[in-house]
Amino acid sequence: MKFIHIADIHLGARPDAGEAYSGERPRELWDTFSQVIDCCNQEKAQLLLIAGDLFHRQPLLRELKEVSYLFSRLKHTQVVLIAGNHDFIRKNSYYRTFSWPKHVHMLSGETLGHVVFPELDTAVYGLSYHSREITEPLYDSAKAKGLARCEILLAHGGDEKHIPIRREALKKSGFDYIALGHIHRRRSLTEGFAEYAGSLEPTDKNDIGKHGYIVGELDEDGLRLKFVPIAGREYLHLALQVKETMTEGSVCDWIRRMIDERGRQHMYCFVLQGKRDVDVEFDTSRMNPFKNVLEVVDETRPAYDFERLSEENRGNLIGRFIESFGGCEEGSVEYQALCEGVEALLSGECL
Amino acid sequence: MIIKELYLKNFGKFNGTYCSLDEHMQVFYGENEYGKSTIYAFIKAMLFGMERGRGRAAGKDEFSRYEPWENPNYYAGEMRFVCGDRTFCLKRHFDRYGRNAVLYCEDDGEELSVEDGDLQMLLGGITLGAFENTAAIGQLTARPGQTLAEELKNYAANYYASGSSEVDLKCAVDTLKERKKTTEKAIKKCVETQKQELEKLQVAEQYMKNDMAKLQENAAQEKKKLLTLQESRRSESDCKHEQGEFLTEGKQSLTGAVSGGLPRAGVLLCILGTLLLTAGVLKNFTGNPWFYSIPWFVLPAGAAILAAGILSCLAGRKYTRKKSGDSFRTSSGEDAKKAVAAQNEIERAEWELQRIYGQLTEKQIELGNIQEQKEELLVPGDAQRRLEERKEALELAMEHLTACASKMTEQFGERLNREASQILAEVTEGKYTRLFVGDNLQLSVFCGGNHISVEQLSRGTVEQIYFALRMAALNLLYEEKIPVIFDDAFGCYDEKRLKSTLKWLSNQDRQVIIFTCQRREQEIIEMLKRK
């Protein structure tokens, strides 16, 4: 039995993708989802598992119709989906009334339900969110009932406010595979058994890494999984260790080079760290050569040697000022205050 | 620390010039262009090195100023000095390519490293800036647009509040304030963008609500229309029903007694006939004596009456049917068409109502999504959070700075005041016995029971207060007795005060180097020495 596992498609979302790509991004989410449908046909997958958050918000009827159309293109594939915390089944949700094609099965109950595919000798279990948050660990008590040879749990959540998941409890659940959604970065809860597919496309600047779907094959030989990246763009977080020799221009050049090396189609967040020359200041708003930079966070501090400065200025205001922050941690607000203060004291440039 | 000897190998106009210094008081007397300033610059360059300025500033910095005209690649000097009973030799090359510094102890040959800060340690941690602000005294000069008194006040204020004239408290606080302002502006911009975003959503929300209100209105209308249609159909069919009855009745009344009573009379006849027939049958076939009284003709009469009753019933019904059938048949073609049309209209209205309800639900969901977006917007973004943090940091820095400064004024300022007052009293031979630092670091002197603010004092006296403050700061801040250098500093001193100043200096355990273009310093020192 071959299946494709996707999650967190977030159709209808408008992710911040920088000046260059924010406009077309909502469309791209649909396009990639449509590609997955094609992949199902090519791979002759028998099951398409959607582990929640197909939509970013409450789906509109026209959106459901669109999705339904895309599903109708499937040639060999049965679809099982659940509602996640984003598209949870609200009182007036269309999920309640929409009639899906025959080969699409929504497990819309608040408690664990299942659908059995006798021809595949497979049962898929799952439940849907009926509220934005669920704090009970609903999956901890989930058990495979032995309705078919292959038993799969479709689950969404895994953090404090969205069905906390205990890995140990899942291990004893008796399922053959647990298709997880909600966490946007692809990762394994238990390698080869409980996997987060990650969001199909990155929808937030923190959704770094590759994004795509998982192809799985489950038979007598066991379970084989493969992650297939499909997302057109990536969010990349890059940190630059600024040296005292660097200026705004050289930082700009570095950014340009980094983007050229990794591809202009991606979306970038840069962090400047380390110590900069005392006289240099960075205007981060000008560090966006291709309009695909979301932010440049300047965490650099002027290259002061506080110990030496404190020693040199023992007894005077600078010394006492430094002492007054005695041993504050780098990165804290206190440290920032120390840097700002010393900078102001040493700049000597009166306004 | 005592500077013993200078060797200006190649520096400015000097070329291979030796210069040994008195370990107590040394006066360099010379006319203009003698090279006093060059020697002064040389001492500074030897002690603190000479950094090249960057960019355009390089054209005017000391490096360029004293770069030898000939042989600029050989730009160097030596200095011998005593520090803590040990004699050191310092050699420096200032030129662009071969810049280096060598420091070693002449007593034991120990090599020290200028780069690692050994020289600075020997100097007691004093920096070039601090040196220029304390030990090296020229004439007090005012910055453009400032009076001398203001300049002195600035100088004093910084000393009182910061313990160093290199540190400009007001300037630092202003810088922080300015930065805070910029940060606040940036935060405001963030909030503004967010607000705009929110407004956009609100507009969308309003549109949605308007649309929904319109749809609801449409729905109400459509519903009303549907109800009327349904009502009219119902009343029409009721009407037809009634019409039918009315016709029957009408026909009955029309045909009147002739035929109207036919069915009813028929029924009566039927009942009567049945009764008679029954009675006849009972008489003839039971033989019960109770029935003997019934006449024989009852049986045939009963049969006849029953037959007549049935006949009249049938005739009456037939007539009625025929009659009403006639009255309907005249309009039934049109009516059927009308009924179908009415039915279609109702269906259309129902369908329309369904459509409107569908749209309403769609809008309802869209509205919900917009409201969700609005809620999400209320959480400030990362950029704003970072700015808020920076603002917090700036405020914290200001807080600490002011707290440190007032503590400084309290502790160091008090000591500085005492020390400077003492020096001032000696220099002015007891005329001004006390320096006062009031609120906002206002500087005044105490003279004969009166406070006199520095603005009211003569230039000479202001310079003497400046001198007193510098010397006091030097004494308080640095343990190492750094040589003090006066570069034409006594121009405004009168004979008397110059004498008392030099006398005070000669009593200090400190090397004094005086550059002057007047003879009187030399003369006074010789006089003091003779005494």
A295 interfacial to chain B (CB closer than 8 Å):
yes
User: Which chain B residue shows the shortest CA-CA distance from A312?
Assistant: B125
Residues of chain B short of pLDDT 70, as ranges, are 52-60, 72-73, 139-155, 157, 162-166, 239-263, 284-293, 316-332, 438-442
Report the SS3 class of residue A108.
coil
Dist. CA A104–CA A106, nearest whole Å:
7
Q: Which residues of A touch B168 (CB under 8 A)?
A: 345, 348, 350
**A103-147 tens-digit pLDDT:** 999 999 999 999 999 999 999 999 999 999 999 999 999 999 999
> Do β-strands A47-50 and A222-229 pair in parallel, antiparallel, or remain unpaired?
unpaired
CATH 3.30.300.20 fits B1-126+482-531, yes or no: no
**B352-378 tens-digit pLDDT:** 999 999 899 889 999 999 999 998 888
Locate A277 and state its tokens: 């020359």
Whole-angstrom CA distances from B190 to A269, B383, B384, B386 are: 18, 8, 6, 11
- Find out whether A119 and A148 touch, Cβ atoms under 8 Å: no
Q: What is the CATH number of domain A2-229?
A: 3.60.21.10
Whole-angstrom CA distances from A108 to A44, A88, A126 are: 26, 9, 8
pLDDT of residue B245: 56
List the single best residue of A340, A342, A346, A349 to mutate versus B (max B Cβ within 10 A): A340
- Find out whether B43 and B128 touch, Cβ atoms under 8 Å: no
Q: From the list B172, B364, B390, which residue is nearest A345 (CB)?
A: B172
Q: Position B502: which residue type? A: L
Q: Hey, how many other C-beta atoms are within 10 angstroms of the C-beta on B56?
A: 7
A313 interfacial to chain B (CB closer than 8 Å):
yes
- Find out whether B435 and B155 touch, Cβ atoms under 8 Å: no
Give the mean pLDDT of chain A.
Answer: 92
User: Which chain B residue shows the shortest CA-CA distance from A296?
Assistant: B383
pLDDT of residue A217: 95
Q: How far is A25 from chain B (nearest CA, A)?
A: 17
pLDDT of residue B256: 45
**A213-228 tens-digit pLDDT:** 999 999 888 999 999 9
Q: Which residues of B touch A280 (CB under 8 A)?
A: none
Whole-angstrom CA distances from A230 to A203, A213, B172 are: 14, 7, 54
Dist. CA B249–CA B247, nearest whole Å:
5
- Find out whether B432 and B461 touch, Cβ atoms under 8 Å: yes
pLDDT at A158 exceeding the cut of 90: yes
Size of interface A-B (CB pairs under 8 A): 127
Locate B101 and state its tokens: 């510094």
Locate B325 and state its tokens: 């059938």
Identify the DSSP state of B132: H
pLDDT at A44 exceeding the cut of 90: yes
pLDDT of residue B59: 60
A338 interfacial to chain B (CB closer than 8 Å):
yes
**B124-149 tens-digit pLDDT:** 777 777 787 778 877 666 555 566 56
User: Do the chains contact at B400 and A316, CB–CB below 8 Å?
Assistant: no
Angle between the B414-427 and B148-162 helix axes, to the nearest 10 degrees? Answer: 140
List the single best residue of A87, A345, A346 to mutate versus B (max B Cβ within 10 A): A345
Q: From the list A315, A316, A325, which residue is nearest B400 (CB)?
A: A325
pLDDT of residue B261: 54
Q: What are phi and psi of A120, to 5 degrees?
A: -100, -5
User: Do the chains contact at B397 and A340, CB–CB below 8 Å?
Assistant: yes
Write down the residue that tokens 């300025």 correspond to: B53
Model's pTM, two decimal places? Answer: 0.64
Q: What is the percent of chain A where pLDDT is above 90?
A: 76
pLDDT of residue B258: 47
Q: Which residues of B touch A316 (CB under 8 A)?
A: 162-164, 167, 408, 412, 477
The set of residues, in sequence order, having a beta carbon less than 8 Å from that of B324 and lying 6+ positions away, is: B244, B247, B248, B251
User: Which chain A residue shows the shortest CA-CA distance from B368?
Assistant: A58
Q: Residue ranges of the domains in chain A? A: 2-229, 235-347
Q: Which residues of A touch B377 (CB under 8 A)?
A: none
Please spell the DSSP secondary structure of B64-127, one letter per residue: HHHS-SS-TT--EEEEEEEETTEEEEEEEE-SSSS-EEEEEETTT--EE-TTTTHHHHHTTT--
Q: Which residues of B touch A92 (CB under 8 A)?
A: 361, 364-365, 368
pLDDT of residue A194: 95
pLDDT at A278 exceeding the cut of 50: yes
Q: How far is A67 from chain B (nearest CA, A)?
A: 16
User: Which chain B residue shows the shortest CA-CA distance from A323?
Assistant: B404
Identify the DSSP state of B413: I
Interface TM-score (ipTM) > 0.90? no
